[in-house]
Amino acid sequence: MKSSFDYLEDLLADNYPIIACESPLQERHRLLTRITTYCQQAGKKAYIWNLSEDSIKELVVSAEENLVLREFDHYKPSIKQNKEDYFQVLNFWKVYSGTGVLIVENIFPWIKENTPKETDFIISEWIKSSLINLKFHTKDSGKTTILLGANAEIASEIAAEIPLWSQELPDAQEIIDSLIKSKNFSFTYTEQDYLEIANASAGLYISDIMYCLNDISKNHDLGNSSEIAKLLLSKKIQLLNRLYDIEFLPPPKVQLGGLELMQQSFKKFKRLLTPRAKQYNLRVPKGIMLVGPPGTGKSHSAKACSQNMGIPLIMVDWGNFRSFGNQAEMKLKRLLRLADRLNQVILYFDDFDKGFAGDDDLAKRLAGQLLTWMQERTSDVLVIASVNRMEWLPPELTRAGRFDYLFKVDLPNNGERYSIFKLHAARFDERFRNGGDPWSEEQWRRILKATNRCVGAEIQTIVERAASTIFCETVIEDTYASSKLPALELTVEALLEERRQINPLAIREADKVESMRNKADQQALPSSPLDESKFAVGNIEIFS
């Protein structure tokens, strides 16, 4: 199986005059070393130019496999009178009598689709013309120009003239091969050990993996593969969160009160990840949309899905993409690449509708990019999006074949509020753990009546505030040994008092909330069955 680098070497072997290379900054040294090694083996010279140096250096890989830069005296930079003078290297390479591969950095920002300033537009057009001329003059000349950068944006009028190679995230075999060949580490792993390390580091580039291993080796013995895999996973999570502006979560352990119909679907989706399902050409849905008012548990439902399916969860605030401006599409592309490489993962877009509130061109481009990926992807990535206002979404997002399942996550009914209360109460009061329930049915009916139209987030707040109040009133500071702390016992009166002090969103913004619920009713499936608990409306014994 060919690696990502092999495809680049195929382009070089075919003597393409210009090749665009997209590679992250942390992989720069490895990529330069790989290109230079290829050139030396093919009997070619390798050179590099970038804007900061404005000089050409010859690249050589030494016998110790170190990358060395040598002086190259044939290129003499001109005096800079105009902006285009900074890119005279293109004209030099066009007429240079020698052969080889010239790597040019820092050029993609000047040849992307839209250049805002008039002065930038002029230099952009000059560079585009120079590249077209360079391709024409260096064809079959033994000279190749590699345009290198972290984000290879190319204007549509010249994109067809320049083949694009993108450095993909390494697969498990590439990671294993790099570990075996590494000179910095000496491993005594079995084949299974290597696979465990590779799976733990999936989603990182080789340079990042080596950096993490080097950091781990300072305090741990690399001989224990299971321990190293756990440490690698921990460092990977920290790195991915920082690099991609996401929250990466291994399958969490959460409890969800209610929403049984939706949870049954999640369990069905887990079976669709199995090899047997693949034999029947079955796959996980393209996407799931969770629709409903704020605070009803949509984000918590995504965590429950991750738990039920046993795969990691990537949580992303979709609205944040708008804040990235011109970088938004590049950020989304990198995120989708990461999800593809991780393969079996849930990609959760929170507040999906807010990214389309402005109805601007950027929102439409992002939606188109996501839809194209969802339509063409071959990985087992499950996309989940939470939505408050469906009317803000472009119509093409909600038609059949885009998001296969739409679930209405509604205000919890009496039975669900009872379950939610017990889940949160068990965090503070031991009496509620292991199925315990210290209160009578009459007491619960008082609580459930008072919290009608409260959502899960508001119930959580009520319980937490009641527990805090009881603690402050009953536990005297520094008078108990840590092993003999007094029990914290919630009371019905404390919960009702905290309820009186908040104004639920569904009451405060009743018109908006009802509008959200009605829109969801029109298109989405119910997440919960009819309330059949003893607290259901209608299950009240009026004759005692």
- CATH number of domain containing 497: 1.10.8
Separation CA 216–CA 231 (nearest Å): 7
The number of folded domains in the chain is 4
Distance (Å, whole) CA 332 – CA 366: 8
Integer Cα distance of 50 and 148 in angstroms: 10
pTM over 0.75: yes
41 and 139 inside one domain: yes
Q: What is the pLDDT of residue 390?
A: 86
* 138 and 46 in a common domain: yes
Do 178 and 39 lie in a common domain? no
Amino acid present at 270: K
Residues 428 and 291 grouped into a single domain: no
Side chain identity at 141, as an amino acid letter?
A: S
Alpha carbons within 13 angstroms on the beta-carbon side of residue 303 total 13
Return the pLDDT at 544: 40
pLDDT of residue 399: 75
Look at residue 478 in the predicted model and tell me its pLDDT: 66
Measure Cα distances from 122 to 110, 117, 131, 437, 442 in Å. 10, 9, 14, 74, 78
Domain assignment present for residue 136? The answer is yes
Same domain, 161 and 176: no
Are 16 and 130 part of one and the same domain?
yes
| Amino acid 418: pLDDT | 95
What is the pLDDT at residue 543? 41
Q: Are residues 137 and 188 in the same domain?
A: no
Domain match, 101 and 126 both: yes
In 3D, which of 166, 174, 175, 146 has the Cα closest to residue 23? 166
Evaluate whether residue 544 is within a structural domain: no
pLDDT score recorded for residue 341: 94
Q: 209, 244, 279: which is the final residue of a domain? A: 244
Let me know: does 8 contact 166? Beta carbons within 8 Å. no
pLDDT at 1: 52
Closest CA to 256 of 316, 303, 310, 313: 303
Based on the domain organization, do 266 and 397 belong to the same domain? yes
Low-confidence ranges of the chain (pLDDT < 70): 1-3, 115-119, 358-359, 478-483, 538-544
What is the extent of the structural domain holding 449? 414-475+486-508
Same domain, 178 and 159: no
